[in-house]
Amino acid sequence: MSKTILTGKEYSTVKEIAGPLLFVERTTGISYGEVVKIRTPTGEERTGQVLEVDEKRAIVQVFEGTSGLDVTKTVTRFTGDTLKFPVSLDIIGRIFDGSGKPIDGGPEIIPEDERDIHGAPINPYSRAHPSEFIQTGISAIDGMNTLVRGQKLPLFSGSGLPHNLIAAQIARQAKVLGKEEEFAVVFAAMGITSDEARFFREDFEKRGAMDRVVMFINLADDPAIERLITPRLALTAAEFLAFDYDLHILVILTDMTNYAEALREISAAREEVPGRRGYPGYMYTDLATIYERAGRIHGRKGSVTQIPILTMPHDDITHPIPDLTGYITEGQIYVERALHMKGIYPPINVLPSLSRLMNEGIGKGKTREEHRYVADQLYYAYAEGRSLRELVAVIGEEALTERDRLYLEFADRYEREFINQGPYEDRDIEKTLDIGWNLLAMFPETELKRIDPVYIKKYHPKYKEKKES
């Protein structure tokens, strides 16, 4: 029944198969969370993990799915070990599948160490608060929702929207001003199409960046449950490179919606009491074990910055996937369909977007001293303009005051001149703020209530031109 071979205990006592789960009977000495190797009746090997164990039985989730498994011929081998990823500096430039096997035809990785893919929580006391401005060259981000090194800032998008283009642009252009170090990119794909994966790969290759990229690819037709480990492999790689080798790592995780679907599948198979819309009640905590693996650590040089991408089902921001993500990440960049339809790229609506670490990363010596005030004034003006747009839709433009008309016009120009830019246009922060000022110059000075008069005198085009001439 059970025999201990070189590594682990073998059982062929599968009692029941339900969805991605195997129920293995008459087990002893199995530990919670250990890795299980499963041999299918046709001799193929799959990997699983113990989800629950008691004295007589273990419940195993199979990452590659259970199709083709049966209760008589399937053999399970409990390895006694947790899921590990062999790390090495040589993983840079390599491409792996969703469970960490090289798929680029390159040599085997000779590991420097084996790391548990679940990582270990960072002691909050050991964290250094992120504060270094990352210039992405995208005005909607740099000017309004600034990203800093060590932040986790997701793109909230919808199907068919250009989130990949934006993510690739960030990966291409991201830099910390005054620092030489470039970012290395760890890219994890969960259930995206092969076209999308190819887009990223070609984008990296085109600019000769592949030697600074590590890719983990689980495609749409790859096993769904494997998606539960893909982002963890990527983050294990990222943490290793950041905290053992002092690199600055940008992690792109796409699409977290597919990850959450896999989580729901497991939960349904275990017949757990579902939380909202069928997603498990522990989804917040589970997502946190991914997103919290970003940051900086006192005394270590490297950093992990995360840009997860998720597509909101029905563009609904209250759906549990974006909702719970927003509760964990340090803000979000909101990609909006309406702006996309208008032909604006990047179609980022700055109002529901947010960067909670912006204040740490901007201001004197980082971006520019008046950055906060300009951003606040632009927010105020754009919010006014957008709510007036709604009003106009009901009552027509005639009823508006002169002031109102100005705000309406501002909103249009703001979208066309400030937000809109090319996917290969790399605007520096000076340029971004200057565009902002040019737009604000539409208003009489008395409207610029959010800006300290000192800065108006210093940066308002009216005074600037005078000074320069």
Partner 1 sequence: MEAKGRIVRVSGPAVTADNMTGSQMYELVRVGEEKLVGEIIKIEGNKAIIQVYEETAGLKPGEPVERTGRPLSVELGPGIIGQTYDGIQRPLPKTQELIGPFFKRGFAIPSLDRDKKWDFTPSVKVGDRVVGGDILGTVPETPLVTHRILVPPDVHGTIKDIVKEGKYTIMDEIATVETEAGDVKLKMVQTWPVRRGRPYKVKLPPDTPLLTGQRIFDTFFPMVKGGQGAIPGGFGTGKTVMLHQLAQWADANVVIYVGCGERGNEMAEVLERFPKLKDPRSGYPLMDRTILVANTSNMPIAAREASIYTGITMGEYFRDMGYDVALMADSTSRWAEALREISGRLEEMPGEEGYPAYLASRLSEFYERAGRVLTLGSTERIGSVSVVGAVSPPGADFSEPVTQNTLRIIKVFWGLDKTLAEKRHFPAINWLTSYSLYSESLEEWYRRNVNPEFLELRGKALWLLQREEELQEIVRLVGPDALSESQRVILEAARMIREDFLMQSAYHPVDTYCSIEKCYSMLRVIIRFYEEMGKAVERGVPIKSILSLPVLEDIARMKLAPLDEAVKVCKEIESKISEQFNSLYTTLRR
Ligand X SMILES: Nc1ncnc2c1ncn2[C@@H]1O[C@H](COP(=O)(O)OP(=O)(O)OP(=O)(O)O)[C@@H](O)[C@H]1O
Return the residues of window 315-374 that contact partner 1 according to CB under 8 A.
318-320, 323-324, 326-328, 330-332, 351-352, 354, 356-357, 359, 372
User: Does the N-terminal peptide bond of residue 346 adopt cis geometry, omega within 30 degrees of 0?
Assistant: yes
Closest CA relative to residue 238, chosen from 286, 184, 200: 184
The verdict on 55 binding partner 1 (CB under 8 A) reads yes
Task: Name which of ligand X, partner 1, none residue 31 binds, using a CB cut-off of 5 to 8 Å depending on partner kind.
Answer: partner 1
> Tokens 């290395």 correspond to what residue?
184
Least separation in angstroms between residue 379's CB and partner 1 is 4
Beta bridge partners of 336: none
**Residue 468 contact, options partner 1, ligand X, none, Cβ 5-8 Å cut-off depending on partner type:** none
- Count CB neighbours of 101 within 10 A: 9
Shortest distance, position 422 Cβ to ligand X, whole Å: 29
CB atoms within 10 A of CB 5: 8
User: How many CB atoms sit inside 10 A of residue 142's CB?
Assistant: 28
In the complex with partner 1, which residue's Cβ is closer, 102 or 275?
275
Distances (CA, A) of 8 to 21, 29, 75: 20, 10, 12
Q: Report the run of H or E that residue 187 belongs to, with start and end.
A: strand 183-192
- Give the count of residues interacting with partner 1 (CB under 8 A): 77
Contact status: 268 vs partner 1 (CB under 8 A): no
Task: Output the smallest distance, CB 21 to partner 1, in A.
Answer: 14
Which residue intervals of 220-255 are DSSP H helices?
A: 230-243
CB of 387 to ligand X, least distance (A): 19
Contact 27, 2 (CB under 8 A): yes
Dist. CA 96–CA 82, nearest whole Å: 20
Counting contacts by CB under 8 A, is residue 400 touching partner 1?
A: yes
Q: Which residue has the tokens 């198969």?
A: 17
CB of 329 to ligand X, least distance (A): 8
> How far is Cα 88 from Cα 245, in angstroms, rounded to an integer?
10
Q: For ligand X, give the closer residue by CB, 173 or 305.
A: 305
Structure letter (DSSP) for residue 462: H
Report the C-alpha gap between 260 and 153 in whole angstroms: 18
The minimum distance between CB 13 and ligand X, in angstroms, equals 46
Residues 277-316 touching partner 1, rule: CB under 8 A, are: 281-282, 284-285, 288-289, 292-293, 295, 297-300
**Distance in angstroms (rounded) separating the CA atoms of residues 228 and 49:** 11
75 touches which of partner 1, ligand X, none (CB within 5 to 8 A by kind)? none
State the minimum distance, in angstroms, from the CB of residue 198 to ligand X: 35
Closer of 282 and 327 to ligand X (Cβ):
327
When the beta carbons of 249 and 290 are compared against ligand X, the nearer one is 290
Among 124, 160, 178, 208, binds partner 1 (CB under 8 A): 124
Which residues contact ligand X (rule: CB under 6 A)?
A: 326-327, 354, 356
Choose among partner 1, ligand X, none what residue 320 binds, the Cβ cut-off being 5 to 8 Å by kind: partner 1
